[in-house]
Structure 1
């Protein structure tokens, strides 16, 4: 159980850093505001889904 929690914590940190970096890069791109906002929402949605995919097996709700 502890190993799973440590793996989840590491995954959250890594996914968070990657999501922050991609969001920062999106901010630097010379595109219109609405497209930036959509891209940021998609990045955050993917990040949350990845974290949920890692967390659900710890609760016994997902596949291993």
Structure 2
């Protein structure tokens, strides 16, 4: 259980850093403000889904392959 929690923390850290880098790169693009916001929301949704997919098995929820 402790190993799984450490793995989850590492996943959260890596996903957070990657999402922050992608959002930083999106902010550098010359896009209109609504497109910036849409792109940031999509990146954050993907990051949250990745973390949830990693965390749900720890709670006993079966995830279909």
Q: Please give the TM-score of this superposition, normalised by the length of structure 1.
A: 0.96
Count of residues in Structure 1 that have an aligned counterpart in Structure 2: 64
Supply the RMSD in Å over aligned alpha carbons.
1.2
Q: Is the 8 A contact 1:12 1:51 kept in 2?
A: yes
1:30 aligns with 2:30: yes
Name which structure has the greater RCO, CA cutoff 8 Å, separation 6+.
Answer: 1
Structure 1: state its 5+ residue gaps. none
Q: Please give the TM-score of this superposition, normalised by the length of structure 2.
A: 0.94
Structure 2: state its 5+ residue gaps. none
Runs of 4+ in 1 over 4 A off after TM superposition: none
Deviation at 1:60, TM superposition (A): 0.5
